[in-house]
Amino acid sequence: MIWKLFRPGDLVLREDEIGNLWLFVLIQATYSSIVPRNSHTWVGEEKKEANFKTWSLRWNEANGCLERKTTFFRCTKFSGQQPIKTLPVYPIRYQEDIKGENTEQFLAKRGRKWWELIAGPAICQQHSGLAFSKEGRRINEGGEKSRVDGRVVIGDKWKTPANLDFIFGLEDNNIHLVVRESERELFVSDLREPYQWDNLPISTALTDEQAMLCPPVVDCHDLRSKKRLTVSIVNLQPVKWNQDALSQLVLDEKKKQMLEGLVHHHTNRHRRNEKGDLIAGKGQSLVILLYGPPGVGKTLTAESIAEAVRKPLVAMSIGEMVWDETQLQERLQTEFQRAIDWDAVLLLDEADVVLEARSFEDVRRNGIVSS
């Protein structure tokens, strides 16, 4: 009798693996017979399941618009009773207030925050909470869930997960095979006009319902682990920059004043859109070479500069890069472009390895230096 719980066009909720509530529009429910793959079950002994076809709003990076995306859920037949909120999806009317706030108001506020992050340029945020990572794992494996406390960058190349199966815990290696699809159609309904939901440009001012149907997660880059993560919108907060970091740096006063002058002049010049060179595309950056024995504060100086200009610090050690001149050049270009895209301060640790003079003894290293 599960179909009596749902109404055509219902707004339904689903909780993901890190505690986020996703809102969907239920457009189709079907009743099917299935058998496990590689099973010898006889006809008539198949398992029954209810299948729910839903949609919600996602960002289409290729087309640069907000549009509807379909997600399928299923519920295998069970005996007796079970709580409504343990079903794969359940109507929003059964959800109590979230953190003391009306459910719909909470979802709308969260959706607008997501839309601001998607619509805006790359931004650095402070994250505290659970996150998912799919790096180093196969397509059919679940995401690695861990707690991440630190700064992340929501870049402009990718912001939304490509595949949501891992975050819903739905992957099962296709262990079921549908024998008779749509054996009984429970209902098919979508009462909303398509023009209100598809091809919404970046400039769209979302309605409450549109905002509610936006994802509660966003993809980002963890500056500490250098992994791509999927994180919850509610766990992101603006970064509290330490504006006094550079002035508190223990450094010769003249050198400190020179650093402060260079950094602030460079920042102000960009704000005024001044040209840095006669040639277009040249002279737009500020390169500072910090040298000295280990432990004197070279990295701390770079961190202080990043704090002073309120920009994320992207740290990369030359030792982490592949020791092949072609691949090294590609990697360096990638890191420099990333710093440009994110409007970040790039720290190349151990850069002296590639800044030393060429020598006749090591031809291979000469190629690396020249790259």
- Each residue of 323-336: pLDDT tens digit? 666 677 788 888 88
CB 161 within 8 A of CB 170: no
Residue identified by tokens 């505290």 is 128
pTM: 0.80
Task: Answer yes or no: is pLDDT of 224 > 50.
Answer: yes
pLDDT band at 371 (very low <50, low <70, confident <90, very high): low
Predicted pLDDT of residue 223: 94
Q: In a 3-state reduction of DSSP, which class is residue 234?
A: helix
Task: Provide the 10 A C-beta neighbour count for residue 76.
Answer: 11
DSSP symbol at 109: H
Q: How confident is the model over 252-309, as pLDDT tens digits?
A: 888 888 888 888 888 776 665 665 555 666 667 788 888 888 888 889 999 999 998 8
Average pLDDT of 180-203?
59
Question: How far apart, in whole angstroms, are the C-alpha atoms of residue 274 and residue 207?
Answer: 40
Grade residue 138 by pLDDT with cuts at 50, 70 and 90: very low
